[in-house]
Amino acid sequence: MGLAGLTDLRVVFVGGKGGVGKTTMAGGLGAHAAGQGKRVLVVSTDPAHSLGDLFERSIGDAVTGVTAGLWCLEIDPDAQAQRHVDRVTEQMKGLAAPAMHQELVRQMDTARHSPGAMEAALLERIAGLIADQGGDYDLLIFDTAPTGHTLRLLSLPEAMAAWTDGLLAHNKRSEQLGQVLKHLTPGKRGEEMPTPFDDPREDAFAGMDRRTRHVAETLLERRRLFHRARRVMTDGQRTGFVFTVIPERLPILETARAVRTLTEYEIPIRGAIINQLIPDDADGEFLARRRQREARYLDQIQHELSGLDTLRVPLQSDDLQGVEALERGLIPILREHGV
Ligand SMILES: Nc1ncnc2c1ncn2[C@@H]1O[C@H](COP(=O)(O)OP(=O)(O)O)[C@@H](O)[C@H]1O
Ligand SMILES: [Mg+2]
């Protein structure tokens, strides 16, 4: 499985260390796929968004059209966390006694600022996009945040379950809910856990009051969403991960680490784009020396990422900015490689 045919997938993740050209590659792949007649949505999950810079327009937290067949979205993790916590707070209010409401809001507000809340909310949005089969787009491309963050995103069902359980622990006094939570406890990676709710003969909601039942159903629905998303993400027919790397020590090491971890998570890796190579026609003694150094790093990439399909993109004299620049400087290379 290589980079050829990449745009025939449903979901592509573009990962790599900050500054190596992830956003450029994600946007370039998007413009390339749109040029093939596909409907493409490029989604940035990096809090330091730059899709807007790439396409020279403001994008933000709403789907924005860029060119024919290409849309972009910059998820705002802060706003996402706020919406998420608001929703959960409303649900919890339904369960807690009115006298508890003020305390509940206070605790939920703390939860919003707790580490992991923004990520968890982000996860839910991403999972929703991925799990939305037969949705509005042929291809979703994620311009992901620096690798460490992406890897945490990929452990999604567990991360989310832990967070949800944490929030609900505030409401431990609800015995019924406690029972529901037992069934929501995350299992091993990649493993589908049968729950009493999946068995039509058993009515696990029996005996719950209406509100508890509603919360339980919501939680269950969320868990199913994460499992659906993970099923898509681990399916090589539908999903592929592409690294962007530059011939420098740290990005290479970080990418090699990420490849190992993703492999462990059974995420299908399609290859790596080696970006910012010194162009063949660049001359001068300085660049000749830099090229020797680059050759050593290319050897290292060969060694560290052996077995991965790679594609080389030269450093351009100008920034790769705007659809036209991508069409000139990047898309021909993608096309040549059969991407
Ligand atoms: N091959 C290239 N040639 C010239 N400039 C590039 C190339 N790849 C990326 N850039 C520029 O480098 C900067 C960082 O790229 P970006 O895609 O935003 O990186 P990341 O998303 O990984 O942080 C941008 O200004 C972009 O235009
Ligand atoms: Mg970026």
Most confident of the following: 119-128, 198-207, 250-259: 250-259
**Higher pLDDT pick, 227 / 208:** 227
Distance 319 CA to ligand 1 centre (A): 7
186 and 138 together in one domain: no
106 and 224 together in one domain: yes
108 and 137 together in one domain: no
What confidence category does residue 55 fall into, taking pLDDT thresholds of 50, 70 and 90?
very high
Residue 289 within a domain: no
Domain end among 209, 230, 251? 230
Looking at the chain, the whole-number percentage of residues with pLDDT higher than 70 is: 79
247 lines ligand 1 (CB under 6 A): no
Sheet containing 139-143: which strands, arranged edge to edge?
64-67, 70-74, 40-44, 139-143, 11-15, 239-245, 269-277, 310-314
Q: Which of 17, 24, 242 to mutate to test the pocket of ligand 1 (most atoms within 8 A of CB)?
A: 24
Structural tokens at position 260: 């190992």
* pLDDT for res 194: 45
Residue 158 within a domain: no
pLDDT above 90 for 294? yes
19 lines ligand 1 (CB under 6 A): yes
Domain end among 230, 249, 273? 230
24 lines ligand 1 (CB under 6 A): yes
Mean pLDDT of 276-292: 93
**Higher pLDDT pick, 46 / 170:** 46
Which residues share a beta bridge with 240? 12
Per the structure, the complete domain to which residue 180 belongs is given by 78-113+168-230
Which ligand neighbours the alpha carbon of 330 most closely?
1
Residue 11 within a domain: yes
Phi and psi dihedrals of 273, rounded to 5? -100, 115
The total domain count for the chain is 2
Residue 109 within a domain: yes
CA nearest neighbour of 310 among 279, 269, 280: 269
58 and 12 together in one domain: yes
147 lines ligand 1 (CB under 6 A): no
Distances (CA, A) of 22 to 3, 17, 28, 143, 215: 15, 8, 10, 6, 39
Q: Which amino acid is at 130?
A: I
Mean pLDDT of 31-47: 94
pLDDT above 70 for 97? yes
Can you give the CATH number for the domain in which 70 is found? 3.40.50.300
CA nearest neighbour of 68 among 36, 104, 92: 36
**Higher pLDDT pick, 80 / 270:** 270
* pLDDT for res 278: 96
Distance (Å, rounded) from C-alpha 123 to C-alpha 154? 9
177 and 224 together in one domain: yes
140 and 48 together in one domain: yes
